Amino acid sequence: MSNTSRSVPGPFTVISGGQVHEALLHREKDLIRLVEHGYRLHGNGQSETVNPPSSFLRFPDDPANRIIALPASVAGDVRVAGIKWISSFPANVDKGLPRASAVVVLNDLETGYPLACIEGSIISAVRTAASAALAALRLGEGRPSTERIGIFGTGLIARYVHTFLVAAGLDAREIHLYDSSRPHVDGFAGYLRRTGGPGRTVTVHDSAENLIRSSDLVVFATTAGTPHVSEPAWFAHHPLVLHVSLRDLSAEVAFANCNVVDDVEHCLRAQTSLHLAEQLTGNRDHVHATLYDVLTGAFVPPVDRTVVFSPFGLGVLDLVVAQHVYQLVSRSEHAVVIPDFFHELSRYGAENLGAASDDPE
């Protein structure tokens, strides 16, 4: 069949971390709304998104390290496919480097050709923090207080989550911190004291128990690979918990609380706390709802129980944010465009480029 109007891929754009940072700076509220839009597209059940399981590249000689591939596509008004390729090498922290590094590749839905390669660690941190802030807002409705925020793990993700919580209006008067590394927690405490407003207190705790018992809203942002918080009694005051790092809580803690996830199939895999709980019981009765259920009013979280939000981190959210960055940067005079990135655009040689094709495929 003849095709006389074949689409030709556009130029390929490379977007640096500095450009990503500039595009997203001070736009936390917009990004929270954008991530909510991504969740609604994913949850509406009309094939607006495709989000396959993440693939983990692990290293037998270095089991703490991993590189994860998160492919996805988003239809609706976003219309893009792509993949985030993100590494987690915890020893980077001791070298003075962030633990994670990443790139996002966007693909055109019409031709499948890549549109852009974008620095992805900022996009990943932003979508994680925006998701956490959105959950705190929606799951916290009607709760007695979120005046005391506890942050367990004081790295880059914790900083982003705190920034987005403040932007969402959850700027607590008391901030409580705990980290197994004293230099890290002291550094984070110093950052909070420098950037905080009057009347804020920052307290560094010497135990996980003291942090949790002192907080109405607890953020877990650690690099833990296995559960290390196993006492349900520490949560007797029923805080709201943002379990961003997914593997901190024991099955006993999971069973005792109300559990909300971003996506059931994704969250109950890869040895997360909720996955381990499923392995013990053989069922998923400990998972009560998704964030989409909360957003649409299908589930109203209890105010008299500990509510734990466990977001696995959906590739569709990375794409929603990355597409937003691409649209902003590619229209600017600072876009780095590689017009001849794709060399072979004709099956029969460059001299036929642009000619009509009678390819039967």
The reported pLDDT for the residue numbered 360 is 46
Region of residue 171 (left: phi > 0; alpha: psi -120 to 50; beta: else): beta
- The answer, yes or no, to whether residue 232 has pLDDT greater than 80, is yes
Report d(CA 262, CA 312) in Å as an integer.
7
The reported pLDDT for the residue numbered 352 is 52
Report the mean per-residue pLDDT for the chain.
Answer: 92
What residues pair up with 50 in beta bridges, in sequence order?
73
**Is the pTM of the predicted complex or chain greater than 0.75?**
yes
Q: For 321-355, write each residue's pLDDT tens digit.
A: 999 999 999 988 889 999 889 888 777 765 554 54
Sequence-distant (6+) residues with CB within 8 A of 255 are: 232, 277, 286
Tell me what percent of the residues of the chain surpass a pLDDT of 70. Answer: 94
Q: Which long-range contacts (CB under 8 A, 24 or more apart) does 227-233 make?
A: 227/251, 227/253, 227/273, 227/276, 229/253, 232/256, 232/257
The reported pLDDT for the residue numbered 87 is 97
- The answer, yes or no, to whether residue 218 has pLDDT greater than 50, is yes
Q: What pLDDT band is residue 28 in, cutting at 50, 70 and 90?
A: very high
Q: For 290-300, write each residue's pLDDT tens digit.
A: 999 999 999 99
Quote the DSSP letter at residue 249.
B
- The answer, yes or no, to whether residue 219 has pLDDT greater than 80, is yes
Report d(CA 322, CA 83) in Å as an integer.
10
CB 278 within 8 A of CB 316: no
Q: What is the mean pLDDT of residues 160-171?
A: 93
CB 277 within 8 A of CB 261: no
Can you give the residue ranges of every domain in the chain?
12-123+316-344, 131-313
Q: For 110-141, write each residue's pLDDT tens digit.
A: 999 999 999 999 999 999 999 999 999 999 99
**Regarding predicted confidence, which is higher, 186 or 333?**
186
Q: What pLDDT band is residue 312 in, cutting at 50, 70 and 90?
A: very high
12-123+316-344 and 131-313 agree in CATH topology: no
The reported pLDDT for the residue numbered 199 is 77
CA distances from 229 to 7, 81, 248 (A): 55, 38, 6
The reported pLDDT for the residue numbered 350 is 58
- The answer, yes or no, to whether residue 100 has pLDDT greater than 50, is yes
The reported pLDDT for the residue numbered 175 is 96
**CATH class of the domain defined by 12-123+316-344:** alpha beta
Q: For 83-96, write each residue's pLDDT tens digit.
A: 999 999 989 988 98
Q: What pLDDT band is residue 176 in, cutting at 50, 70 and 90?
A: very high
**CATH class of the domain defined by 131-313:** alpha beta
Report d(CA 84, CA 52) in Å as an integer.
12
What residues pair up with 67 in beta bridges, in sequence order?
57, 87
Report d(CA 31, CA 66) in Å as an integer.
28
Q: What pLDDT band is residue 7 in, cutting at 50, 70 and 90?
A: low
Give the containing element (helix H, strand E) for 85: strand 80-88
Quote the DSSP letter at residue 52.
P
CA distances from 202 to 198, 243, 262, 314 (A): 12, 21, 30, 32
